[in-house]
Structure 1
Amino acid sequence: MNNKNILKLIKGQLSSEEEREVVDWLFNNPKKRKQYEILKAKYVAKNLRESKNTTSIFIANKKRNLKNTYKYAAVLIVILTSSILTWHVLNNDLANNNTSTIVSNSLILITTQRAEKKEIILEDSTKVVLNSNSVLSYPKHFSGDTREVTIKGEAFFEVTKNEKKPFIVTTDNGMKIKVLGTSFNIKSYSEDKNIETTLVTGKVKVIEENKNTVVELSPSQKATYIKKEDKMIVEKVNTKNFTSWKEGKLIYNDTPMRQVIKDLERSYNLKFNVTSKEILDYKYKGEFDNLNIYQILALFEVSSPITYSIQGDIIKLTKIKG
């Protein structure tokens, strides 16, 4: 795979099978997704310039040939409208970090950066809220007997019910979640130790493909797949603790500090330097309700044996002795 493949994807010059291969490649290569964003922006800008040049030509022709005034006026309206829309979309995408949306003939790949969330409505009206530092891949049109999407990172799904076409979410870690119509949260970051599926309403089947292990969840249950041990644990939970990130809240109940730190790094686009393993293993309990990072650090000092210092763009956490 190289930049030629990316350009062909942008220009719509690939077959459906080739599109899938390139999108899957981009799905697992963040650096290549960045290259896509740059190439896409250049391609749109080039088309915009060409549209403007064409507009100028038609204006000149219009002056020389009054008989075609109405015809050229109609063409000008189409071209100018197209140029304005292209410019508007390009600038909005750049301003809102939406250049990470890849649209091919049959597949769509949407990514979020750190400290960014996106809401997506699929063709079947299924609603997806994509958390920070995540990737979602799905077809423009659901064909066949299933509705299949792929997730890397975290997302909350509200699936439109369709008994004839089950909705299947695949993670990049060999897990599948199969539903008909329900709402649930998936957390599947490649760097995390676990994959979590939390069911809010309806029913889901969580499938671990390596051993073909199938677990059916009921509302308020969470299935945790422990990668290192290759096993699944099901427990009853308060779903609010695992879905409130959509409203900007982070809730923890005896959660290892290593997980809290990872969540904060993704949500606030920052980096921690932890000076001791004891801090990483410390079980934290608390709620961050749309707080800024300084308020969160102040809470750490009040509610845990941890102090902090800021060195440039890195936050250093140190265990309080005593």
Structure 2
Amino acid sequence: MKESDLIQFITKKGNSEFDQEVISWINASSENQAFFSKIKAEHLLATIDDNLENINPEKQFDAFLNKKSKNNRRLFLRIASVIMIPLLLTTYFFYSDSLDNSNPTQFTSYAASAKEQKQITLADGTIVWLNAESKIVVSDKYNNTERRISLYGEAFFDVVKNKNKPFIVETASGIKVKVLGTTFNVKSYSSEKNVETTLVTGKVELYDQKEITPLLTLRPKQKATFSKKEKQLSVAEVSTENITSWKSGKLIFDKTPLAEFALNIERWYGVKVIIASNSFKDYAFSGEIDRNNTIEDIIKILKVSSNLNCSFNNTTNTLLINSK
């Protein structure tokens, strides 16, 4: 994260999605937190220095001599406050840094690479399945007063019920999922235009960054789709088996756009998929891919089920999809 991005965040000049990206970066490591604190302190002190430069000492002193005692006292306090603010800020940052260093928050990342799915059990017994190219970040304070994690990619959660400690999934888009105990799937890849939350059992609530009132509440077999571009939420009834089948080694597609199909193949097989023409990017694919299928099997499936012609280059590890 660049210093200019952090300044933009500090001065509140970014949108909600930008703010969430910065927050996620800050929470990703103690080093990031220390760097952010340093930049924020320097920015605040620089702002105060600018204000001090605008004060003319001679005029202020003349005013001090010419005013009546009551006004003199008020001006003195004003000047004294300007002098004291940097000192107080310096003391504050020193003190807060001492506190942070004595008990800094530690974060642990769990990641699944391309061609991999991984299962993790959290401290409270909650089980998380990570899809390919996905990651969760967990604080060492997890399960204290709440259970909060950050998700990058796709994961299925089987959350241990605890009505006193809500389980919260944060995504880079700003959408947060809050539950007490349930099973659900969240898909939040940065390369995709939507964030999808699918409820299998129980109840989940979706929130924005403020977490004041839920944007909506899902029932079992419902999927909420948040459009990153339009900033809109929609809900649909779905077959949860199709959406969560990846954790048992299958990808089930039901009229899935070719571009989305390609992204899934890239993650599962660690290859680059190139769609040669925009004319058939909106082609809808329906079918099933098993974890044991090879790239050659996928080429055959596409040839049989569509008018698409595919070839694979072993040297560049690239699957080219073209029309017949």
* TM, length-normalised to structure 2: 0.66
The alpha carbon displacement at 1:210 in A equals 7.9
What's 1:31 paired with? none
Q: Distance in 1 between matches of 2:232 and 2:209?
A: 12
What's 1:318 paired with? 322
Deviation by residue 1:242-279 (Cα, 9 ceiling, x = unmatched): 10001110011111010000000001000112111133
The alpha carbon displacement at 1:105 in A equals 7.0
Contact persistence 1:166–1:179 (CA under 8 A): yes
What code does the residue aligned with 1:281 have?
Answer: D
Contact persistence 1:123–1:140 (CA under 8 A): no
What's 1:227 paired with? 228
Contact persistence 1:23–1:109 (CA under 8 A): no
Q: Distance in 2 between matches of 1:281 and 1:19?
A: 37
What's 2:142 paired with? 142
What's 1:251 paired with? 252
Residues 233 and 275 of structure 1: CA distance in aligned 2, closer, same or farther (over 3 Å): same
1:110 equivalent in alignment to 2:79: no
Contact persistence 2:195–2:228 (CA under 8 A): yes
Equivalent pairs counted in the alignment come to 228
Q: What are the ranges of 5 or more consecutive residues in structure 1 without an aligned counterpart? A: 3-17, 27-103
What code does the residue aligned with 2:270 have?
Answer: N
User: Secondary structure at the residue paired with 2:215?
Assistant: strand
Residues 146 and 289 of structure 1: CA distance in aligned 2, closer, same or farther (over 3 Å): same
What code does the residue aligned with 2:29 have?
Answer: V
After superposition, residues 1-322 of structure 1 pair within 5 angstroms as: 20=27, 22=29, 25=32, 106-209=106-209, 214-290=215-291, 291-311=293-313, 312=315, 313-320=317-324
Higher Rg = 2
Deviation by residue 1:128-169 (Cα, 9 ceiling, x = unmatched): 011111111112343543110110000000000000111000
User: Secondary structure at the residue paired with 1:297?
Assistant: helix
The alpha carbon displacement at 1:208 in A equals 3.1
User: Secondary structure at the residue paired with 2:303?
Assistant: helix
Q: Distance in 1 between matches of 2:283 and 2:116?
A: 27
Q: Distance in 2 between matches of 1:167 and 1:24?
A: 26
Residues 302 and 225 of structure 1: CA distance in aligned 2, closer, same or farther (over 3 Å): same
Contact persistence 1:19–1:106 (CA under 8 A): no
Deviation by residue 1:48-95 (Cα, 9 ceiling, x = unmatched): xxxxxxxxxxxxxxxxxxxxxxxxxxxxxxxxxxxxxxxxxxxxxxxx
Q: Distance in 2 between matches of 1:230 and 1:210?
A: 15
Q: Distance in 2 between matches of 1:148 and 1:240?
A: 26
The alpha carbon displacement at 1:109 in A equals 0.9
Q: What are the ranges of 5 or more consecutive residues in structure 2 without an aligned counterpart? A: 3-24, 34-103
Q: Distance in 1 between matches of 2:111 and 2:122?
A: 15
User: Secondary structure at the residue paired with 1:281?
Assistant: coil
Q: CA RMSD in A?
A: 2.4
Deviation by residue 1:200-221 (Cα, 9 ceiling, x = unmatched): 0000001233897611001000
Q: Distance in 2 between matches of 1:24 and 1:255?
A: 41
What code does the residue aligned with 2:190 have?
Answer: S
